[in-house]
Structure 1
Amino acid sequence: MAFPDSVLHALAARPEHVAVEDGDLAVTGGELLRMIGTIARGLRSSGIGPGSGVAMELGVSAEAVAAYFAGYTVGCRVIGVHPGYSAPQRRHVLSRGVDAVLTGDRVAELLRGEAADPVVLARPDDVARVAYTSGSTGRPKGCMQTYKALSSHWSWDVENWCADTVELARCTGRYLLFGTLASAVVQDYLALCLLSGGTAVIPRLPAAGEGPLFPGVFERLRASATIMNVPRLYQMLDALRTAEYDMSSVAAIMVAGSPLPAHRLAEAVELLGPVVYSSYGLTETGGLTALTPTDIAQGVLGSVGRPLPSVEVDIRDGEIYVRTQYQMCGYFDEPELTAETLTADGFVRTRDLGKLEDGYLSLTGRAREIIIVDALPVYAGPIERLLAAQEDVDQAYVIGAPSDQRGEAVHAFLVPRPGHSLDHAGLRQAVRADLGELSVPETITQLAEVPVAASGKPDKAALLGLLRGGVPEAASRDH
């Protein structure tokens, strides 16, 4: 069934079931359908239709969920605006192919209009979604997916779910929906919940002084599943080490955004049980692999999992190229960049280095994260993995910066394990012994936590800013 018809059909099949729980507000499938239809009717009345660009400057709420699906129902090019964007990044996104902007106030106004049932106007070859990258390495890039692509997407195409996806969807009876709907991956995991008849539970964000949202939210809302980035998982695991929480409702936690080191994956399973999943994908491609609890129980810890059934993986000179039915068709208004990323045979160049062995994909570095030291290339990925594997290190991130002496120099940012201190000389020697002198960090900066970009990935641009502008009180640094 085509997108978004499949979602509307699932809501109509269970009209009395609560589809979205937003604080004290419980929205049934039938009510969400009417909200979608009413917003869609208002959009059409204002001249918005198939092919129009509609930007969503919305938080996470039942109304926002309805607004996104209303945009898809009308056949728009739906553009999510990350709340973490800087003013220049926001201007960049909103100045390109945007015919209307939906804010919370505008959505509330549309919902006061004449009620209507949704009428799907989407056309297969039109662009359905423009998912912008975080912009952590420059200005955000808009990755375009067509309605046809989303109709065959691993999570939206319910009729062709593989066995692992069916099992993961079964766990989303009370799916914790947080973060930002501007994220394609947040939308894609919401699909598993709505298409399988679950309830999307939106938590109330803690007020100042109330402490972190996680892990107490699982106990408070009896949530069964969610997706989170690696830094948030680390924070949650640290909290579970120091206090008791009832996590018995949890059936699945999908970890995405960046690779999860083997020792932290093992710790997550120790503290949470066999509920941890890990995945790998790009904004350009959508989800590509999945590492399941069964894989982990069999001792597979150093991999990002097996490619999903519809994903083709080709390793070319060590670099990962992929092809899927649901990948982007290009970057919005960026033909030259599109030509650099999409090959003539339809593969996406990931710029990740990796290997495929025994059906499992492992990442070994980033082709674009090259630091040119003394005119020779040094890859950040291997240095990060080696440092993260050291006994006292919890997280490791490496960047390059200009150097008068060497062209560029390696700089490491490390988060120590709780209760551990860093032996900078020993860490440098470990890098020297395994990777050679060129890979040894010129500086090591200790951080209490890593800055995170709007996408949920570690923000290397912010790390470069720390290097150039000084280190905050939470960090220490040597030369």
Structure 2
Amino acid sequence: MIVTLQATLASAFTDVHAKFATRPAVLGPDGPVLTYGELGARARRLAHGLTGLGAGTGDRIIVVSANRTESFVVDHALAVGGFVRVALSIRLHPREIAAIARDCEARVAIVDAEREPGVAAAFAEAGRDTAVVALDEPAGPVAARYPDLLAGPELDPARPDPDDLAWLPYTSGTTGEPKGVMLSHRNLLAYSRNLMVELPPIETSDVVLHVAPLTHLSGYVSLPFQLRGAQHLPMASFAPEPALRAVAEHGVTVLPIVPTMLTMMLPALETGSHTTDSLHTVLYAGSAIAPDRLARLVRCLGPVFVQGYGLTETPLPLTALSKQDHRVDPAGPLPARLGSAGRVSPFVQVRVRTPDGRDASEGEEGEIQVRGDITMLGYWNRPAATAEVLLPGGWVATGDVGRFHDGYLHIVDRKKDMIVSGGFNVFPGEIENAISALEGVAEVAVIGVPDERWGETIKAVISVREGHRVTAEDVDRICRERIASYKRPRSVEFVEALPKTGTGKIQRSELRRRHWAGADRRVGG
């Protein structure tokens, strides 16, 4: 009798290690660093080492690191070991990382050299017993060093259920409390299938350049390419010139990227001095790109662009703007579709619902709701928040406001107050909580305002208590102490009073309207 096991990340990666054993998996500046066979062996040894720190199947493992070869080893180790990947932004404040470790009861945190001292200190201050594994030479006492965990035997791959928790990315909330988004093995493999549908066939000869964080966008995009045996080139930080040189030197074919990075690349691309002929796909996500800027990028690189729209709770592509959609007539007007999020992807359902609970008609605005096998299991230990988002019939409320026009989904606003700055999601609540710690602050509202480079930047509007004095420098100082640098307001406005509803609730929408007046889209990109 033949027993067929349903696929999980553990089984899928194990198959990849065998099927593409001799093929390059991870590249460095001078060529291949790891084959898929070597990647699998290291991953199984690391997984065994993690069990020696007390980690078991289903335990949460935090990862905080810039892009590097070890990023792939860690991800494969967590999958084959049956652990739960909690990949966090390197831009988070160590206190924020400690708060997430407490929330998900993380057993281990794997941290690179730049972050390790701060994270270890924050864990100690918070009384966390999460074991810190140093990827590099540690600055102080840690539970283990990464190389030492590779010295032991290989762990037999785990056999989780497809509906078991695999990844637990964190997304901020309007209350300022980050929420863990529970994604199963089934979710992630469904996501990989969906993305493959929107891209050209993936070949082992493909070279994927990872300048976007592997903890976030690039980590997601890398999955289907790993499952097909492609090659991966991680870069620890992004700058336009080094990235473009890497494209030429390594024959990069695929580039996952956020719009802010593309905007930063545009001046260098328009010089015409960079060889980009190998590049056949540029997948951008996080927000749209202003149509005029996008048209300039297409003139530089050709119709290589694909846009994907998704959420942490329902990974992309819910909709996609295809390469064909990016073709433009240089002599004609820019098509409206360039400002859209594209057409609905196969295997996903998308609807726009009006406030009175009906499907919106063509051109009518409403909340975007989605359904499919990419839908999260829920928020970690937050049943009330889960119930607000997971709707009857399997639908998910995105909190985005949009409309359909000629089959294309246009995102025009956010029902929630999220700000997207440089491809990173920021919620006003957590910034307002930090600023409110200043004794002289009476009320504060944080909004996103248009920015040519970042899409949106963060602005704080503050009223001050009578008899007190608060400066923009005070606001910057308290934010530096409490939250990640990318969440700090880039401008501060002091007002006598904030606009309110009849019930006394601050109207962020009114504050935002003053800055976005006349714009078709009321979100940045």
Structure 1 length-normalised TM:
0.73
Instruction: Give 1:308 shift.
Output: 1.7
The equivalent of 1:219 in structure 2 is: 248
* Unpaired stretches in structure 2, ≥5 consecutive residues: 1-5, 112-134, 137-144, 329-334, 355-365, 437-443, 455-484, 495-514, 516-525
Q: Give, in angstroms, the shift of residue 411 of structure 1.
A: 7.8
Which of 78, 83, 87 does residue 90 from structure 2 map onto? 83
Residues 416-475 of structure 1: per-residue CA shift (max 9 Å, x gap): 89xxxxxxxxxxxxxxxxxxxxxxxxxxxxxxxxxxxxxxxx96x534x52259xxxxxx
Counterpart of 2:8 in structure 1: which amino acid? F
Aligned to 1:304: 341
- Gap change, CA 1:411 and 1:279, over 3 Å in 2: closer
2:491 maps to amino acid: L
Cα shift readout 1:239-287 (whole Å, capped 9, x = no counterpart): 2224511111111111111122221221111111111111111111100
Which segment drifts farther, 226-235 or 188-197? 188-197
Other-structure match for 1:295: 325
Relative distance call for 1:28 and 1:356 in structure 2 (3 A) is same
2:241 and 2:268 in contact (8 A); partners too: no
Identify which of 81, 99, 102 aligns with 2:107: 99
Aligned to 2:265: 236
The answer to whether structure 1 residue 366 and structure 2 residue 414 are counterparts is yes
SS at match of 2:491: helix
Contact 2:204 2:231 in 1 (8 A): no
CA 57–234 in structure 1, closer or farther in 2 if over 3 Å, else same:
same
Please give the secondary structure, in 2, of the residue aligned with 1:267: helix
Tell me the alpha carbon deviations over residues 198-240 of structure 1, each in whole angstroms, 9 at most, x when there is no partner. Answer: 101123658xxx9753333312332111111111100001222
Aligned to 2:221: 189
Is 1:61 the counterpart of 2:91 in the alignment? no
2:287 and 2:448 map into 1 onto residues whose CA distance is: 19
Native 8 Å contact 1:225 1:252 kept in 2 = yes
Q: Aligned residue for 1:178?
A: 211
CA distance in 2, matches of 1:202, 1:127: 26
Alignment of 1:94-133 (within 5 A): 94-96=101-103, 97-103=105-111, 104-105=135-136, 106-114=145-153, 116=154, 118-133=156-171
8 Å contact from structure 1 (residues 81, 93) kept in 2: no
2:289 and 2:405 map into 1 onto residues whose CA distance is 18
Distance 1:123 1:267 in 2: 47
Unaligned runs of 5+ in 1: 371-379, 385-396, 418-457, 470-476
Of residues 7, 18, 25, the one that matches 2:24 is 18
> How far does residue 38 in structure 1 lie from its aligned partner after superposition?
0.8
Tell me how far 1:309 sits from its aligned partner.
1.0
Structure 2 CA distance for partners of 1:255 and 1:136, relative to 1, 3 Å? farther
Kindly indicate whether residue 7 of structure 2 is the aligned counterpart of residue 2 of structure 1.
yes
Which residue, 396, 399, 402 being the options, matches 1:351? 399
Question: In the TM superposition, what are the counterparts of 1:263-274 in structure 2 within 5 Å?
Answer: 263-274=292-303
1:164 aligned residue: 198
Q: What is the number of equivalent residue pairs in this alignment? A: 392
* Superposition RMSD in Å: 3.5
The equivalences for 1:412-423 within 5 A come to 412-415=449-452
Percent of residue pairs identical: 27
Secondary structure of the 1:191 match is: helix
Length-normalised TM-score, structure 2: 0.67
Does 264-273 or 100-109 show the bigger shift? Answer: 100-109
Give the letter for the 1:336 counterpart: A
